[in-house]
Amino acid sequence: MDFNAVAKEFVQYYYGVFERNRAELASLYRDPSMLTFEGNQFQGAGPIVQKLTTLPFQTVAHKITTLDAQPGPANALLVVVTGELLIDQETNPTRFTQVFQLISEGNTYWVFNDVFRLNYG
């Protein structure tokens, strides 16, 4: 497994779907999945997708600055992303960091852990 290639493909897919239709991200999460979004925790695909689909903006564009990946036990994959967000009509980007722990299931991966933080300052 080329874990860097898997991480890059996952990140491209995740943010592409996030930008088009956040509800479609449900297939990437399972009941044990956990999202920590700006310090608030959500567990399970339903609550996670509800949080993501009710964020207070209409459009968002992600610009990835860095992408790091490391293999973990039992074919898990740790992915760390930094980048910038352009939200709605804003012209000044907001920096963010997101960490995913992906779990292998057959030929695909699902998100076990997802931690998202805006970077201010």
Q: What is the pLDDT of residues 8-51, one digit of tens each?
A: 999 999 999 999 999 999 999 999 999 999 999 999 999 999 99
Amino acid 59: pLDDT = 94
| 75 alpha-carbon distance from chain centroid | 19
Domain ranges in the chain are 3-119
Check whether 3 has a pLDDT greater than 80. yes
Q: In Å, what is the CA distance from 63 to each residue of 32, 45, 47, 86?
A: 29, 25, 26, 8
Is 3-119 CATH 3.10.450.50? Answer: yes
Check whether 120 has a pLDDT greater than 90. no
Amino acid 89: pLDDT = 87
| Strand residue runs (E) in 6-45 | 29-37, 40-43
Tens of pLDDT, residue by residue over 65-78, are 999 999 999 889 99
Tens of pLDDT, residue by residue over 69-119, are 999 998 899 999 999 999 998 889 999 999 999 999 988 999 999 999 999
Compute the distance between CA of residue 84 and CA of residue 119 in angstroms, rounded to an integer: 9
Check whether 56 has a pLDDT greater than 80. yes
